[in-house]
Structure 1
Amino acid sequence: MIRPQWQWRLEDAEGTPVPGTASPVFTIQYDAEQWLGEHWRTLARGGAVSARLMHDGAQATATIPLPAQD
């Protein structure tokens, strides 16, 4: 059985993937969303300005902005 794969694509202001901020691969969308909710501040500090949830390689949701932290 092939399991669905959910993964975040984390991008900088130019839309380029941010090195060193790879998302784990999830089999359930809820788990992927929960992970982003727990880690977005760290990801934003690492240079990510947006996140796109990918499902088996295709974008599954709208792009989510990751606001900079002061």
Structure 2
Amino acid sequence: MSFRWRYENASGTEVEGPDKAFDDQAEAEEWFSATWPQLLDLGVDQVFLLEGANQVYGPMSLHPPA
């Protein structure tokens, strides 16, 4: 199964973002680590990591802790 990210805004509504699939969790997380500032600029406030249809974790905020 492949890994992908689901993107949401601050109200929890799914928003569009890069539609990329990754072979493993480490590859997905490495891509996210390099890309999260651009996602924030696109209006993404939080993400979920999915493996197939199953949620691995999330929501994970893209904003620094208050």
Task: Provide the TM-score with structure 2 as the length reference.
Answer: 0.86
Computed over aligned residues only, the root mean square deviation of the Cα atoms, in angstroms, reads 1.4
- Aligned pairs, number: 64
**Identity fraction in percent:** 28
Query: Any runs of at least 4 consecutive aligned residues in structure 1 with deviations exceeding 4 A, and if so which?
Result: none
Q: Which has the larger radius of gyration?
A: 1
Task: Provide the TM-score with structure 1 as the length reference.
Answer: 0.82
Deviations, residues 22-54 of structure 1 (Å, cap 9, x unaligned): 330111110000011000000001100001000
| Residue 61, structure 1, aligned to residue 60, structure 2 | no
Choose between structure 1 and 2: higher strand proportion: 2
Partner of 2:11: 14
Uncovered stretches (5+) of structure 2, i.e. residues with no partner: none
